[in-house]
Structure 1
Amino acid sequence: MLNNSKKQKSKSKKLSKSKDSQAKSRCESANLKSEQAACQYEQSTIKKVKNEKNISPIQEEEIPFGSQIIQQSNLQDYDKLICEEVVKDFTSFTFNNSLEQQISQEEEQETLSEFMREQVKYEENYSYKKNYLNNQNEIQSHMVAILFDWLIEVAHSFHFKRETFYLSINYVERFLLRQPNVLISKFQLLGVAAIFIAHKCEEIYPKTLKDFHRLIQDQYTIQEIEQMEVSILKSLDFRMYPNTPIFWLNYYTKLWDEFIVDKQICIMFKERSNEAYYRYRELVQLFDLCLIDYQYKQNEKLTILSLIYLVVAKQLQIFDDYQTMAISQSEICDFFHSDQQEYNKLFKQFILESEIYLEFDKQIFFSDLKDCISQLVKYFILRFDNSLPRVLLNNQQFIDEMQHEELLSFQTYNKNTIETITIISKQYS
Structure 2
Amino acid sequence: MVIINFAGKKKKEGQGMRLGKYELGKTLGEGNFGKVKLAKNTDSGKLYAVKILEKNKIIGPNNVDQIKREISTLKLLKHPNVVRLYEVLANKSKIYMVLEYVNGGELFDKISSKGKLKEADGRKMFQQLIDCVSYCHNKGVFHRDLKLENVLVDSRGNIKITDFNLSALPQHCREDGLLHTTCGSPNYVAPEILANRGYDGATSDIWSCGVILYVILTGYLPFDDRNLAVLYQKIFKGEVQIPKWLSPGAQNIVKRILDPNPKTRITMDMIKDDEWFKEGYTPANPEEDEEEDHVHIDDEALSIHELSPRSEQESPEPPTLINAFQLIGMSSFLDLSGFFEKEDVSERKIRFTSNYSPKDLTEKIEEIVTEMGFGVQKKNGKLKVVQENKAQKSLGSLSVAAEVFEIGPSLYVVELRKSYGDASVYRQLCKKLSNDLGVPPSPR
Q: Could you tell me the TM-score, scaled by structure 2's length? A: 0.24
Greater strand share, 1 or 2? 2
Q: Could you tell me the TM-score, scaled by structure 1's length? A: 0.24
Greater helix share, 1 or 2? 1
